[in-house]
Structure formats: structure tokens, C-alpha cells
Chains A and B, each alone.
Chain A
Amino acid sequence: MAVAAGLVLLGWAADIEPLKRIRPGWVAMNPTTALLFLLAAAALWLQAGPQRAARFAGASRAAQALAGLVAVAGAVKLGEHLGLAVPAVDQWLFALQLAPDAERGFARNEMAPNTAVAFVLVGMALALLDRGTAPGRRPAEWLAAGSALIALLALLGYAYRIEAMYGVSRFIPMAMNTAALFLLLALGLFAARPTMGVAALFEGGRPSGRMARWLLAGSVAIIAGIGWLRLEGERAGLYGTELGVTLHSVVLVALLSLLVASSAWVLRRAEHERRRAEVERERALARNRQIMANSLDVICTIDGDGRFVDVSPAARRLWGYAPEELAGREYMALVHPDDRDATARVASSIRAGEPTVDFSNRYLRSDGTPVVVDWSAAWSEPDQLMFCVARDATRRRQAEEAIHALNAELHAQAAELRQSNRELESFSYTVSHDLRAPLRHIDGYARMLQEDAADTLDGDCRRYLDEIGIAARRMGALIDDLLAYSRLGRKPLERVPLDMRRLVERVVEECGGAGKVEVGPLPEAQADPVLLRQVWVNLVSNALKYSAPRGDDARVEIDGWREGDRLEYRIRDNGVGFDMRFADKLFGVFQRLHSQEDFEGTGVGLAIVQQIVARHGGGIRADATPGAGAAFTFDLPAGAHAGQSALAREDAA
């Protein structure tokens, strides 16, 4: 716009006709008018936006000054038109060039009164650009609209070729370029603040803004066009005034109806959308309500004053109050007195913005009994409500207490066991020391007696002394075995991968069974090597002992295999065997199925074997035929299950 005004000034300066008046015979824009346009443009530009104001310090101040200038100039000219004795503001600029126009027969080129009025309006609008925000409350927009209408009047006058419209009586009418520029300026004023006032309705990419812009532009164009058509038609003699007016009205009616229809259609669509959104919202609310109603936990909202707003039906079960009873009540009233301080502290931290997830307190039910409640709550600033979920923690508490009690019991039991073990340790210590000494003395003196009194004693006496010694030594052996049994039971179990075959072969060699024992492939096990060695020592020495009567025909076979998740190991001999009727006694401590004379032994070997195998989580069974031999089979768990089954079996045993 500044460009256009600048061009006009240039035109006056250089006397270029087209720039001044566009068309020959048309009124030229007064130079002062052009200058005022420039100032207005500058004022508008300075106030274009917040960034501009920031870039140029005092921009708004300058803009207001410029605007003031424009308004004052217009007012002065108006005053002149009205007959006031004021200086002629429009004659000073390019005064020289103004004269020739007067000579050429034009009326003196001066600023038209409507131009002056328009400048006043525009100047004030520019000054008041930032006043008011709501549509209809912005003075700038009213003022700008006023000047736009004035300009429109002039423009249409030009378009309809009505002389009277663009001038007021005898004065030089508003130049067309002036009118166009006023229109532009008005638009610029509206556009300067697109988010405020009426301009907001037309702005933006939103459907409503776009539609408004198109509709406005369209209707202005169409209505102006129809007016022009009618006038031209009348002028050309196509029809008279009455017909012209009638046609005009009819077309306008049609146009307006169209507009109304399309607006109504758009509105209807918008209504539909809104209705749909409403329905959706209702449904969502209903869903929410359903969820709240079904929830086992209490879902509730508490306002800023600490009162219940909404409480889900679960409150009846948890606290014994109906939701209606609780609405409006202060929640703190239900909190157990001892927990109120803590609750208040947590509540204020929630208000401050920290949602809590793990807070527990006690509430008093309607019947006075306390109930432990777990809370999860958060504060919503826009809603000014605390959203909470409460859960009955009674069961949780009970479970926790049960666990604590169980733990305490286990600790106590473990302590007892440790104590028990310690007592056993010292017991066996005592046994090994104190019980052996007298036995040694018995055997010793018996022997010494034998040695010293050999001559004076007869066969029987000497035999008696033998028996004394034998008995004492036997008791020593028993003690040794008992101690071994007890010690092995207390030794901690070490599970490592064990090459069973190598172990067995070594044991066989140690027991002197080299030629008589056949060892087949044996599966590797996870077991304690020391204990398993003891097992095989006992089993192999037993097998050799009880098959010794066969002499060179004695045969012992050892084999093993895997069955499912268990490893089986078997030792078979062709010795004397035993009576299956007494098989269950076989593994008892000190239990024997043969006499001491026939086969030496204390009867603790198999008991030890059974104990060790059981500790590993396995079992042992025996099979025999008297006179034909015996077979002992024990199994161990394979791999990872070993630990658990050991515990289970010990419990069962």
C-alpha cells in the first residue's frame, strides 16, 4: 500500500498523469492524501506484530504519533469543508503542480470531504488498534469498517458510473486510487490483529474461517455485480427502473436463499457432530460409571476441602457406608485417629503434585471396627479433585503377618537345630573319648593277665579271658561305627558331578575285589564323592564278604542305567543271600540277618548306605534268594531336581 501511495507522490512530482489519476478524466489523488496514506502505512507496519514492536523500541509510540497526525490532518480538512477557518493542509505539497490542473478546467484538486472523514476514521483506528479483544468490542474494527464502507461507496460509484457517489456536491470526488487504498488500509487494519474481534471469525485454516472469507468475498462481489448488471441493463434500455428493481430483488432473494440454505446446511452438520460427540461422551461416562460400580476397590474423588465428592459402590463393602452417605462428608472423619497426622501429611504432598501409590492407613467402618486400607491417589489441577483408589489391605496384612510369624518360627527352629547339632557334636566327642578308655582297660588287663598267668591258668580260664577281650573289642567297634554313622549324617552334602564308574573301580581295588568284581558303565551323577565312596565301600565289602564262601567262584556284578529322571545303580553277588521275609530289617542300625560267627560285622554298614542315599534324595531296595545271592539297587535323582527332592524325602522320611 505504501508502494501505491509512493507511486502517486512520484506521479505528482514528475507530473506523470497515469499515476495521478489512472484514467484520464478521472480525479487525481491529492498529494497530501498520498502522503497521509504513506504515514498510515508506516503506522500500520510499525504495529504489525509483537516481533516488530520488539525490534523497534518505541514502535507503538511512533505508530500512535503517526496515526494521530493522520487523524488530525483529516479533521482539519473536514473543518475546512465545514466552513471553519483552518489552514488548507492539502495545498502545500506540490503546490506548484496543483495549479496546472486548476487551469486545465478541473476543479481545484483538493482532498474530498469523504476522504477527510475516512482519514479521521483510519487515524483513530490505527491509534486504537490494540483496544478491546471480543468481536464487536474493538473500536478499531468499527472505525476501519466505517472507512471501508466509505471507500466501497466511492468504488461502487465509479463502477456504476454515478458521479454523485464519489463526490459530495461540488467538490472533487474521492479519487479511485484513494478509494482502493482506503479499502486496502481497512483490510490491513482488520488483518493486523487476526486473533481479536471480528477478524478472528475470518482467520485461519479452520473450516469456519475459510468459509467466512469465501462467503464474504463472494457475496460482496456478487451483490456488487448484480447491482452493476441492473444499472447497465437499465442504461442500455433493456428494461425500465421498476423491472430493474424487481429483477434485482429477485436475484438478491435467490442469492440470499442460497446463502441461508448453505449456512443452515453447515450448521446442521456441525450440530450433528456435536450431537454425536455428546452421545459418545455420555457413553464414555456410562462406561466409567460401570467400571467404578464394578470395581472391587473403592474408587472415589475428594475435593480441595477434604470432602468426598464421588464414591463408588464398593465403599459399602469396605467401609459399611453407602456412597450417598459419604458424599460431602470429610474423609478425615473416617480415618483412625492415630493415622490422621500421617494421612494429612501425605494428602498435602499429593496436593503439591506428587501422586502416591503405596500409602496405608486405617479407616473406621460404620460399625466402628478398623480396617486397613491401601491407597493410590493423585491430584488433578484442572479438575481441582483428588482421584483415589482404596483397597482392603486386611488380607495383605494378614498374609504379611503370617509370613513374619512363619519366619520367626523357622528362625527359632533353625536355632534349635543348630543347638541340637552342637549337642550332638559334644555328645559324640564324649562318647569317643570317655567310652573307649574303659574298654581299652578291660581288654588290656585281660590280655596282661593272660600273658602273666598263662602257666597257672587252664584252657577254660584262658578262654574266658579271651572272651573278655573279644567283648571289649567288639564294643569298641560298635562305638566306632556308631560314631561314623552319626558323623556322616551331620556332614553337609556336597553335590558335584561324579564319575561313578571311576569311583567304583577304585573302591573295588581298595576292597581287594579285583578279580571278582565286574564293573559295567555307570551313569554320571550329581552327588557327594566322600559319601558315595562310603556307600560303595560298604556295598562292595558286603558283597565280597557274603560271597566269600564261594571262593574262586565268587562273582560280583555292578551296573547302572538311567530311568526317566532317576539314575539306578545295582550290585549283585552270588553269595549266601538272605531271607526276603526279613528284608525290611536289613537297613536298620545294628540289624543283621546273619550271626556274628558266620559273618563279622556290626550291622551298621547298610544303615549308613541307606542314610546317605536318602540324603541325596534317593532310595535303596534289596532282593535276594537264600543261597543264590543278593542284589542291592539304589537310585539317585538325575540333575537339577536333586535339591528339591532331597528336602521332600527327608520330610517324608
Chain B
Amino acid sequence: MNYRQVEILLVEDSRADAEMTLRTLKKKGIANDVEWVRDGVEALEYLFCEGRYAGRGNGHPKMVLLDLKMPRMDGLQVLQRMREDPRTRLIPVVMMTSSREEGDLIASYERGVNSFVVKPVDFAEFAETVAQVGMYWMIANEAPD
């Protein structure tokens, strides 16, 4: 049982990408409490307190960083389920993906994503992007409780 407030739910299947993201977030001091799940199924289990996360009692994350391409269940499906459920409908979701394909972009916005960000190859840029995203959504943005 973990009672710490999770601020960001990171849904990312690549360990490397996750490591870089976590490191950046920590370095910039944006959020100390990041929960990392490895695919869509786990993400939903976490959000709805099911499966291995059944009975977790620490509320909802303030933001979800969602990768698009994942095995089993991809980002679009997670997004869809989140928006369908009143419990998770209002949580801000930022889609992160390797490429800017128009089709993905439109599909995400149609399902109600709050933001769509491309992960650059350049690490410096990547770090900067993550920092900016984090800064904005965690600090500047007002979210419902």
C-alpha cells in the first residue's frame, strides 16, 4: 500500500525512454512522485484500481504522460477508456510519440487528448520538451480536483 500522492502517471513501454524521462523530471524538480507503468493494460488497472492495483488508495494522478505505440493496448485505446469513464475523464493527458503522423494526431485529438508532443531524437531537445511539458501541466495549468 502506498499512500504517497502520485502526481504523474507515465505510461511508456520503452525502458530507455522511461529512464530518460524520469531522470529529466527529477532533475528539473517538476515532480517527485511519478508512477511508471509499462503498457496500456497496466495503466488502466492503475487508474481504475484494478488487478494488481486493486485497493490502492492514493487518488488520481494530476497528469498522464501517455506513449502512443505500445504492445497489447496502445495509447489511443487507453485515452478512449479514460475519457469514457467519469472517474478519469477530466485527468489531463499528454500524448508523447516518436513521430508526427497526421493520422495519429487527429485520432488523438478526436478522443480528447489535451496535448500532443513529439519526442525528438536529440536528447537535449528531448529533455527540454519534457521539462516544458511538465512545467506547464504541473505548475502553470489549473486542473480540476
Contact = CB atoms under 8 A, between A and B. Distances in A.
B101 A429 contact: yes
Interface in A446-476: 446-448, 469, 472-473, 475-476
A399 interface: no
B69 A473 contact: no
A641 interface: no
Interface residues of A, number: 20
Contact of B20 (A429, A433, A444): A444
Nearest to A469: B123
Secondary structure at chain B's binding surface: helix, strand, loop or mixed?
loop
A429 B121 CA distance: 16
Contacts of B69: 433
Contact of B119 (A440, A446, A469, A472): A440
Nearest to B16: A441
Contact of B99 (A432, A443, A444): A432
Interface string B67-100: 0010000000000000000000000000001111
A439 interface: yes
Given A433-B69, A441-B17, A447 B101 contact: no
Contacts, number: 57
Contacts of A436: 98-99, 119, 121
B29 interface: no
Contacts of B17: 437, 440-441
B123 A444 contact: yes
Interface residues of B, number: 18
Contact of B98 (A437, A444, A473): A437
A473 B14 CA distance: 19
B124 A447 contact: yes
Contacts of A469: 122-123
Nearest to B121: A476
Nearest to A437: B98
A432 B98 CA distance: 7
A447 B101 CA distance: 27
B55 interface: no
Nearest to A429: B101
B126 interface: yes
Nearest to A439: B121
B122 A433 contact: no
B120 interface: yes
B98 A448 contact: no
Nearest to A476: B121
Contacts of A472: 121
Nearest to B23: A448
Interface of B: 14, 16-17, 20, 23, 69, 97-101, 119-124, 126
